Each structure stands twice: as C-alpha cells, then as structure tokens.
Chain A
Amino acid sequence: MEISLFQKKIGRLNKKQKLKFLLTKSVLFWVLFMSFCMIVIAGWSLLVNRQNAKLNQQLKTTKQRITQFQKIESQQVYLTSKLKSFKTLIKSQEIHQDVTETVFSLIPSGTELKGFKVETSGIIKLSGTVPDYVTLSELLTRIKNKKNHKLLIESAIINKIMVTKEGLVNFDIDLQIRV
C-alpha cells in the first residue's frame, strides 16, 4: 500500500499545470487565429485598394471622355434652361395674342381706340371714340355677339358714354374675356 503524504498538494499542482497548459494552448490558438484574421483582413484591404485604384483610373478616363463632349453638354444645358422659361412665355404669348385678336375683331370701322393693356387675366379696359351712335351700336352688338370671337366675352360693363362738341361719341367699357 502506497501512502501519499502530499496528495492534496499534488492534486492542486496537477490542476494548476493543466490550467497553465490550457491557458498556453488558448493563447497560442488565439495568436494563430489573430494572425489568420490579420492576413485575411490585410489581403482583403489590399484587394479593395487595388480595385479602388482601378476604379480611379476608370473614373479618370470617363471624366476625360466627358470633357470631350463638353460642347454638346453646354448646348444641352443651354437648351433645357431656356426651354423652361420659353414654355411659360409661349403660353402667355398665346393668351395675349388671342385677347388682342378678340378685341381687334370687336372694333368697327371708324373707331379710334385708346391704348388698352393686354392682360393675361383677360380684363380689358376699352376706351375710345366712335364717330356716331350707329358705330357705337355696332360695337356693342359685336361685344354682345359672343360666338364670333376667338375668346368668349364673359362680361362687359359700360362705364361711360359721352358725346363731344364735335358730335363724336366717347366710350369706356370694361371687358372680361375668358382666357
């Protein structure tokens, strides 16, 4: 029979040594793992860097090619910027033209029309002189006759009709044309 006097101590030492071994192994494994990770990341980083350099080169080439088309680009930018205003202007011009044509068709022969402002809203202040009542009557008939005009006359208000010493008739009419 073998009597061990340091059984407890030996057991503790064994445990400690096992722990040390395990720890050393873990540290070694961790170092290896870290190295592997470092290699992978560094490789990946290098690859990305190479791709970036390639992309940079490609970008430079594309930019150079775009510069060759600068004339066309500036012309296109010119067109699009001007078209925005032009579209609005042309609509407004059309309205002005139609309003003018409508008023033009209202005026009978012998009429003298003072300057009226063409408004996009369609409100026209018509004032002028006609030689006699017959012409005035014709003017009013034309205003009343809605179908014959380019644009519809929604309302007409006669503000003033005045006969001058010379026998001429001055008139002042407010028209609302539908635009």
Chain B
Amino acid sequence: MSKAVDLSSLVKEKKLLIFVGLGLIITWVVMGPVLGKLKERIAVKNKLVNDNQVLTTKLEVLEGIDDVLVSQRVKKMEEVFPSKKPVVQLMGALNQLAAEHGLGFGGVTLRPGALTEEKQAPTAKSKKKKSKETPSLSADLLDLSFGFQVTGNFDDIEKFMNNLERLAPLMKIDQLSLAIKSSPFFEGESIAVIADIEVLAYYQAPPKTLGSINKSVELLNREDEAVMNRLFGFKSYETVMPTAPTGKLNLFSVDLQESL
C-alpha cells in the first residue's frame, strides 16, 4: 500500500518531465519519416544535378568533336594499326613497296595463327617480350610474324628498309639476315644484296563497349595529336582483293533471266 502511494507521488512529481518526454517521442514519430523523406529527396536531387552536369559536359564535348576529322582518323588508324590480323594488307604492302624500289620479293614465311576471330592468348614468347620491352602495352595487343626475302642493290634495299618505318600496317623489323655479294671486278663494290627480313605487324581489337553513359569522353592531348599527325605520314597501298565470282550462279534469278 505504501509502495503504491510512493509511486503515485513520484508520478505526480515527474509529471512535467513525462509530458516533455512524451512530446519529444511524438515529435520524433511524426517528424521522423517526413524529415527522412526530405533527406532522401535532397540526396536524389544532388545526384541528379551531378549526373546532369556530367552529361551536359559530355554532350558539349561530343558536339565539339569534328565528325569528318574523327572518321578520317579512324580510317587511317585502321589502315596503320588494324583491328584484325592484317595478313593480306601486310603481304600486299611489302610486295608493292619492294616493287616500287625495283627489288625482288619472295621467300614469304607467314605465321598467321588462328583464322577465327576468337580472342587468342598471346604466346609465352610475345608475353615475355611485351613485359620486357613495353610494359604499358594493352593486353589486347597481338602480333603477326611475317618473313620475306628482298633482293636488289645495296642502295635500294637501304631505301626499302627506311620506308618500312612508314609503311602501313605498322610493323617493326624483328630479325634480319644479309648477304652482300661483291663484284669480282671492282673491289668493295656490292652488286647484289639478299636480305631476309622478319617483321612483326601489330593489331588490336577495338574496345567492345563504350562503358557507362556517364563516362566522360577522353579527348586527345597535344602528344596524341602529334602522334596522330605521324599516323597520317604512313604510306598505305590499296589491297588488291580477288573479284572473280565464286560458287554456283542461280540460273533462275530474275536479273540473270533478263540479261539472257
């Protein structure tokens, strides 16, 4: 009984405190979700503002890019540094360059590897070479080895070698054998040079995706522009492709019947 009396007196004494406490709880219960919602909406707004800014900048950058120039550059890049194995282009270019310098061209050794477009793993040899020579090269970069023999006089072969540096598709001399035949009549004068050259031509598949739409467009810097200018210095020869029709003709086709 005395305990109940104590409790009621205690409640009476703390009445004001209880009221304030209750008030705060009610405030929290009523205002909490409303404030939470507002906070959430403000966060969404900030993200939207940020995204919008990024996209607007990206759009401005894209609008500023010269469509014609980029297309030209892509075309040239594809000629010089192709996306697919440049077997035909390489053979054609070397053959035509040799012919231009009046050199004999032959002894072709080609190691084209897989014919499918599957992603091939770089060989252990090329991996080792890449890590040793060029640490910043992309993993998609692949090479194609091509051996050939050119015969002619010393000066022409020298010019041919010099022009290899600026010949599309991009290649570098990997191995070289030389046989300089001297004249039996004039001492020290070379009459014919036989050069067995092995070159490595490079190709790299283009990126598969553009990435997120929010990803900014990377523009070319000064150094890139200089490299781009050098790219246009590469000489490319038109690849002659066979045009002879292959396979059976459809004798019942309308065009054929009309022509008959």
Contacts and interface: CB of A to CB of B under 8 A. Distances in A.
A108 to B, nearest CB: 7
Contacts of B41: 45, 48-49, 52
A54 B20 CA distance: 42
Interface bin, chain A:
35 or more
Contacts of B181: 110
Contact of A38 (B34, B182, B189): B34
A6 interface: no
Contacts of B62: 66, 69, 72-73
A120 to B, nearest CB: 5
Contacts, number: 208
Select the residue from B31, B49, B158, B176 with max chain A CB neighbours within 10 A: B176
Given A75-B73, A117-B175, 5 more contacts: A45-B34, A59-B55, A69-B59, A79-B220, A86-B80
B2 interface: no
B190 to A, nearest CB: 4
B138 A85 contact: yes
Q: Give the top 9 A-B pairs by smallest Cβ distance, nearest first.
A: A110-B182, A109-B190, A55-B48, A113-B178, A69-B62, A115-B177, A93-B172, A109-B182, A96-B172
Contacts of B81: 82, 85-86, 89
Interface in A71-89: 72-89
A151 to B, nearest CB: 14
B240 interface: no
A92 B210 contact: no
A78 B180 CA distance: 44
Contacts of B196: 115
Interface of B: 16, 19, 23, 27, 30-31, 34-35, 37-38, 41-42, 44-45, 48-49, 51-52, 55-56, 58-59, 62-63, 65, 67, 70-71, 73-74, 77, 80-81, 132-134, 136-138, 141, 154, 158, 161-162, 164-165, 170-183, 188-190, 196, 198, 202, 204, 206-207, 210-211, 213, 217-220, 223-224, 227-228, 230-231
A66 B213 contact: yes
A107 B196 CA distance: 15
A84 B188 CA distance: 46
A108 B133 CA distance: 30
A76 B45 contact: no
Select the residue from A48, A82, A104, A131 with max chain B CB neighbours within 10 A: A82
B129 to A, nearest CB: 9
Given A41-B31, A120-B133, A66 B58 contact: yes
A48 B42 contact: yes
A94 B38 contact: no
Contacts of A78: 74, 77, 206-207
A114 interface: yes
A38 B34 CA distance: 8
A109 B180 contact: yes
B170 A90 contact: yes
Given A82-B204, A120-B133, A52 B48 contact: yes
A128 B180 CA distance: 11
B133 A111 contact: no
Contacts of A94: 165
A118 interface: yes
